[in-house]
Amino acid sequence: MKLLKYYNLKFSIILITILLSTLSYSQKKTDLSINQISMLSALCPGLGQIYNQKYWKVPIIYAALGGAIYYYDYHQKQYNNYKNSYIFETDSDISTINNSGYSASNLITLQDYYRNSRDLAGLLFILTYVLNIIDASVDAHLINYNVNDNLSFYLKPAKNQYSDSINLCFSLNL
């Protein structure tokens, strides 16, 4: 929980900034399908990538989300296990026995470790989910750009006839 308290404000600011950035555009003409793709990807991870016909990204997204869920669940179970062992160690009831083999101070350390690891796995899940939405939105923005072999970029010197200087000119051939 210490990890969440430390990163909570920064993470909230970053999340709000990302969510608000999907509402603003630098171009005057907005494409409605970009908003739809972002919403599809937010509702169901990978759906925006399918709509953009980037099918190879979907298994990567689900593997990352599934891995984060797996590690969250694993660390939550370990945290509960050591928390119960600590309760059994420190209570005054003779019928409860600590079978872990750790002392009370070691059990507190293990609880903190697995709680922090669980929180980190939760943050990785949220980060993967947000990156899924951003990836679908960026792919939707870039789908209309021309990236064929006829695009070229040249750097050539140009002599100015009115002075004795040499200038560099950028020429973009479309």
pLDDT in tens, 130-155: 999 999 999 988 877 766 666 566 55
How many domains are there within the chain?
Answer: 1
**Dihedral, 114, 120, 123, 124 alpha carbons, nearest 10:** -110
User: What pLDDT, on the 0 to 100 scale, is given for residue 26?
Assistant: 47
> Measuring CA to CA, which residue among 122, 113, 114 is closest to residue 72?
122
pTM above 0.75, yes or no: no
151 within a domain of the structure (yes/no): no
pLDDT over threshold 70, residue 5: no
Q: What is the pLDDT of residues 34-45, one digit of tens each?
A: 888 889 899 999
- The verdict on residue 162 lying in a domain is no
In a domain, 155, yes or no: no
* 156 is a domain residue: no
- Per-residue pLDDT band for 27 (boundaries 50, 70, 90) equals very low
Q: Could you give the CA distance from residue 96 to residue 37 in angstroms, rounded to a whole number?
A: 55
Query: Mean pLDDT over residues 49-60, rounded?
Result: 91
Going by C-beta distance under 8 Å and a sequence separation of 6 or more, which residues neighbour residue 142? none
Note down the domain range covering 47.
Answer: 2-146
Residue 97 domain-assigned? yes
pLDDT(167) > 80: no
Question: What's residue 16's pLDDT?
Answer: 67
When mean pLDDT is compared across 16-25, 144-153, 157-166, the lowest value belongs to 16-25
